[in-house]
Structure 1
């Protein structure tokens, strides 16, 4: 019998695997939260599939998503990345990845971890939204608006409310699996 999934992931096996094994599962470790932050930054204005298909290339290009290393990328390294056909070569997003790494480290220093900071916006536990269909899933919420505003205040780039809400969904801060999806519970 075929598993019922959220309709957005039915296009490819890559999407199905990501949906079944990662999307919406709570993430509390800073390295994975940083990885998703970088990937969501590059996704802004594009499809998630575009990023997902290049994920391994991003991992290589961005030092295994090591926040300390990314924070120290030089202008020369940024130029190399701008010529890397394996990733999305948007110079503003590449620069934002470095800026965001630096801001991420500052948040870690202030709060003890980025996880403690970001999960504080949802009182440390996932919000279960109990969506019936994909049409019921919003692009933003009041919480993503507030988080976006705070991230921007802290110097993060490409963190509009839609990007932030996608990050919240990906890292399980919100459960937006539709009600008949087998992963939901």
Structure 2
């Protein structure tokens, strides 16, 4: 394969990821269709499948970009609150998570709407990205509970993530809580301030 052909293939792959990301960001994951994507990219539908095994594989690439941006947002909140007590750092990163979800609702939802299981064919980068997010939570928890066994700390980390994620999800979808963003922040702070 010539360098020019490799460059064209790489450019099309990148374009497909960017177009899919824009479509998901604008209208949600359910709006992504191979035919529409191919038309917008100026390629045949089959060309999509020379780069990705299926649309879920393409969505995973979009999710990778979203995870990196989410990770940067949470990392920035951790850095800004570095001199704060552990609970305050947990609250700061949870608020960063909430604001990212609110600003990028469809992309954030796509992180969890692609069907995957931990024992299935989940890409390593996806597991690493999720592990990175959990490590931000685990660090202040380890300070709060220095004698907690590692497996229990991991379980508590996942429980807190699940709790915050649930509050964010229900709050943004205006389900049970139906409260403004500032009150969702307050709900998260109330839950996390009771971690002892």
**TM-score calculated relative to the size of structure 1:** 0.26
Structure (1 or 2) with the greater helix fraction:
2
Higher relative contact order (CA 8 A, sep 6+): 1
Greater radius of gyration (CA): 2
